[in-house]
């Protein structure tokens, strides 16, 4: 358990670390997993993030797969210990997004699934993550265009030499078990032969989804094909594809039995109600959602990912009043309010805020570096450069706030902050606001000149348009057109600044 206090330092908590938290084995010794008799959360893009994986484990899953993460995304990320959350984060430092977040609680049970078409990149990822996860899995079943065009997913099944080379290299270089997940082929004998070829690489187990690459999720699953593979291999086979017949743990066991395996992985049935793994039977959906929200808040999951997962749980209930409230929600707070977890969310977010949590909101170019001074220099340099560019001898006062632009807060173009500011300036006879945008790495920040003052948001946006809108929001706030309470309510601002760090009008012309 992690505790927080208002005096916790916010310096460098995203510390790059070596060695990793995971158990370090003596050189050359491999860790193992017994893949027999396991009920497993299957890999699911967007769904298989940390809160859902922990929920599945809590309800009785034996192992959990991550969503598929493409190799280069992990290789571009930097690994940090997030001391506020007690997690290990792989952060895309160009925009501050979390590529992969994990924690010690799931360390012995989490299997990282990668999307790859390259031996070198797969091995590099394996070496990078092997101390943080229990095993690594290569996705050889994804039929999506982006996967196939990149030679990944199911494309690997049709390029057996490459598929084998990737698995062989991983098995030879990493200290953790290596597996792959395939689909069945239209021809049963070919499926069995391919699976045997893959087995020969030294992998520890193989997941078999009983549908071909052209079959859709609603098509019946080919349990006989899975059984044929299971009977032909000596490594454990993990049956997959049975969600249509699964609403409880007992159904998963039955599915595995019909497929002649002792292990099964579940995707959609767990996405709909993760308590499907519970030995005592599934729980009412509201209970599952409430617990999922607690874990999402606890691990600072993004509101958009949380909202997506809850929408997937609601399914046909999306048309109910609760479903519509969820659809309208933007912030974690708003989502949690629907399921009576608002107070928990507020308290936790404040605690994290005081403990100095960083996330997308705190991301500035290069601020994820351990050198805070360097980051400050970057920011300062930006502002000075802008002054030089425009050759202004007199530097107007700068008003700064940490405000982000959330597009869905604005129903149509006429209500956008820039439009509102245009009207405000016109009506007040101030002339047009002048915008200037700066870019560092892949982030943008805008400065507005109006009426002898300058306005900016300290929140670096992902694109130029958003940066201008965020700066316009700051301008409207400072000029009394927008209210601070409203911006906090719709998630554009955080509830309160840390005591003593109120950024209001701190930078007077830098
Ligand atoms: C939302 C969603 C995301 C998925 N993402 C992945 C993925 O990242 N990697 C993968 O191998 N399969 C992925 N799949 C496929 C599932 O792992 C599984 O093979 C398929 O849904 C069949 O199993 P089921 O009948 O239990 O749903 C995904 C499925 C769903 C529904």
| String of DSSP letters for 304-344 | HHHHHHHHHHHGGGGGSHHHHHHHH--SHHHHHHHTT-HHH
Closest Cα to residue 23, out of 83, 109, 114, 124? 109
Pocket test for ligand 1, best of 40, 44, 69 (most atoms within 8 A of CB): 44
What domains can be seen in the chain, in order of their start residue?
A: 39-283 (3.20.20.70), 292-363 (no CATH), 395-490 (3.30.160.20)
- Average pLDDT, 10 consecutive residues per value, the chain (510 residues): 31 33 58 96 98 98 98 93 94 83 97 98 98 98 92 95 98 98 97 98 98 96 98 98 98 98 98 98 98 97 94 91 91 93 92 76 54 39 38 73 82 88 94 92 89 92 91 96 88 63 30
**With a 6 A CB cut-off, is 47 part of the ligand 1 pocket?**
yes
Any idea what the Cα angle at residue 185 is, between residues 179 and 190, rounded to 5°?
Answer: 90
- The closest residue, in CA terms, to atom 16 on ligand 1 is 267
Pocket test for ligand 1, best of 42, 115, 217, 239 (most atoms within 8 A of CB): 42
Residue 500, sorted as left (phi over 0), alpha (psi -120 to 50) or beta, turns out to be: left
Query: Between the CA of residue 49 and those of 63, 111, 177, what are the distances in Å?
Result: 14, 12, 21
Closest Cα to residue 292, out of 53, 68, 491? 53
pLDDT recorded at residue 364: 61
- The closest residue, in CA terms, to atom 31 on ligand 1 is 268
Q: Taking the CA of residue 413 as centre, how many other CA atoms within 13 Å lie in the half-sphere pointing to its CB?
A: 1
Express each pLDDT in 439-498 by its tens digit: 887 788 999 999 999 999 988 888 899 999 999 999 999 999 999 988 887 778 877 644
Distance of CA 100 to the CA centre of its chain: 6
d(CA 193, CA 464) in angstroms, rounded, equals 53
**With a 6 A CB cut-off, is 226 part of the ligand 1 pocket?**
no
CA of 148 to the centre of ligand 1 (A): 16
Express each pLDDT in 200-258 by its tens digit: 999 999 999 999 999 999 999 999 999 999 999 999 999 999 999 999 999 999 999 99
CA of 362 to the centre of ligand 1 (A): 33
- The closest residue, in CA terms, to atom 15 on ligand 1 is 44
DSSP, res 59 = H
pLDDT recorded at residue 27: 63
Closest Cα to residue 494, out of 368, 362, 318? 362
CA of 32 to the centre of ligand 1 (A): 25
Query: For 385, phi and psi rounded to 5 degrees?
Result: -60, -40
**With a 6 A CB cut-off, is 141 part of the ligand 1 pocket?**
yes
pLDDT recorded at residue 359: 63
Give catalytic residues, as residue numbers. 142
pLDDT recorded at residue 394: 58
CA of 215 to the centre of ligand 1 (A): 13
CA of 419 to the centre of ligand 1 (A): 43
Question: pTM (2 decimals)?
Answer: 0.78
CA of 141 to the centre of ligand 1 (A): 9
d(CA 223, CA 177) in angstroms, rounded, equals 26
CA of 276 to the centre of ligand 1 (A): 16
**With a 6 A CB cut-off, is 241 part of the ligand 1 pocket?**
yes
**With a 6 A CB cut-off, is 222 part of the ligand 1 pocket?**
no
Does residue 19 have a cis peptide bond before it, meaning omega lies within 30 degrees of 0?
Answer: yes
**With a 6 A CB cut-off, is 266 part of the ligand 1 pocket?**
yes
pLDDT recorded at residue 404: 87
Alpha carbon dihedral 484, 487, 488, 491, in 10-degree steps, equals -170
d(CA 131, CA 151) in angstroms, rounded, equals 27
Alpha carbon dihedral 488, 494, 496, 497, in 10-degree steps, equals -140
- The closest residue, in CA terms, to atom 29 on ligand 1 is 44
**With a 6 A CB cut-off, is 153 part of the ligand 1 pocket?**
no
Going by DSSP bridges, is the β-strand pair 434-440/443-450 parallel, antiparallel, or unpaired? Answer: antiparallel
**With a 6 A CB cut-off, is 181 part of the ligand 1 pocket?**
yes
Alpha carbon dihedral 259, 264, 270, 274, in 10-degree steps, equals 130
Say whether 138 sits in a helix, a strand or coil: strand
Six token digits for residue 327: 């659809």
Express each pLDDT in 62-84 by its tens digit: 999 999 999 999 999 999 999 99
Query: Between the CA of residue 464 and those of 4, 295, 435, 440, what are the distances in Å?
Result: 36, 34, 10, 11
Closest ligand 1 atom, residue 137 Cα: 11
Six token digits for residue 484: 């601070």
How many beta carbons lie within 10 A of that of residue 232, not counting itself?
A: 15
pLDDT recorded at residue 360: 59
**With a 6 A CB cut-off, is 115 part of the ligand 1 pocket?**
no
């Amino acid at each position: 358990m992690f505790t927080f206090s208002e005096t916790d330092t916010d310096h460098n908590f995203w510390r790059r670390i070596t060695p990793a938290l995971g158990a370090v084995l003596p050189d050359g010794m491999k860790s193992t997993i017994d893949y027999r008799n396991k009920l497993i959360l299957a890999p699911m893009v967007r769904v298989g993030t940390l809160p859902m994986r922990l929920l599945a484990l809590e309800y009785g899953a034996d192992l959990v797969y991550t969503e598929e993460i493409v190799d280069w995304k992990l290789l571009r990320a930097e690994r940090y210990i997030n001391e506020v959350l007690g997690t290990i984060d792989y952060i895309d430092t160009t925009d501050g997004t979390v590529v992969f977040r994990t924690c010690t609680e799931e360390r012995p049970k989490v299997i990282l699934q990668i999307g790859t078409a390259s031996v070198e990149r797969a091995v590099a990822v394996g070496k990078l993550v092997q101390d943080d996860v229990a095993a690594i899995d290569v996705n050889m079943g994804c039929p999506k265009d982006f996967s196939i065009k990149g030679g990944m997913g199911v494309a690997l099944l049709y390029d057996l030499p490459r598929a084998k080379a990737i698995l062989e290299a991983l098995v030879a270089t990493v200290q953790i078990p290596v597996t792959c997940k395939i689909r069945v082929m239209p021809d049963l004998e070919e499926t069995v032969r391919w699976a045997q070829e893959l087995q020969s690489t030294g992998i520890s187990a193989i997941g078999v989804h009983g549908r071909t690459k052209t079959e859709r999720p609603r098509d019946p699953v080919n349990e006989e094909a899975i059984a044929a593979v299971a009977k032909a291999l000596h490594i454990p086979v993990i049956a997959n594809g049975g969600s249509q017949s699964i609403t409880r743990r007992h159904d998963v066991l039955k599915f595995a039995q019909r497929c002649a395996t002792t292990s099964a992985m579940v995707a959609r049935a767990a996405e709909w109600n993760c308590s499907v793994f519970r030995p005592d039977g599934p729980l009412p959906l509201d209970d599952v959602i409430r617990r999922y929200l607690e874990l999402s808040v606890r691990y600072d999951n993004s509101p958009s990912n949380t909202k997506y997962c809850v929408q997937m749980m609601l399914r046909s209930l999306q048309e109910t009043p609760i479903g519509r409230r969820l659809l309208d929600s933007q912030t974690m707070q708003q989502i949690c309010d629907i399921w009576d977890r608002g107070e928990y969310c507020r308290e936790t977010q404040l605690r994290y805020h005081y403990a100095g949590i960083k996330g997308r909101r705190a991301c500035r170019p290069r601020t994820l570096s351990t050198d805070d001074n360097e980051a400050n220099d970057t920011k300062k340099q930006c502002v000075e450069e802008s002054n030089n560019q425009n050759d202004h001898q007199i530097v107007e006062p700068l008003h700064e706030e940490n405000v982000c632009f959330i597009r869905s807060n604005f129903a149509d173009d006429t209500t956008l902050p820039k439009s509102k500011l245009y009207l405000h300036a016109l009506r007040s006879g101030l002339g047009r606001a002048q915008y200037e945008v700066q870019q560092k790495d892949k982030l943008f920040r805008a400065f507005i000149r109006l009426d002898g003052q300058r306005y900016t948001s300290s929140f670096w946006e992902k694109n130029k348009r958003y940066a201008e809108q965020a700066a316009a929001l700051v301008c409207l706030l400072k000029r009394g057109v927008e209210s601070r309470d409203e911006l906090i309510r719709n998630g554009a601002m955080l509830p309160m600044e840390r005591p003593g760090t109120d950024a209001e009008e701190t930078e007077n012309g830098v």
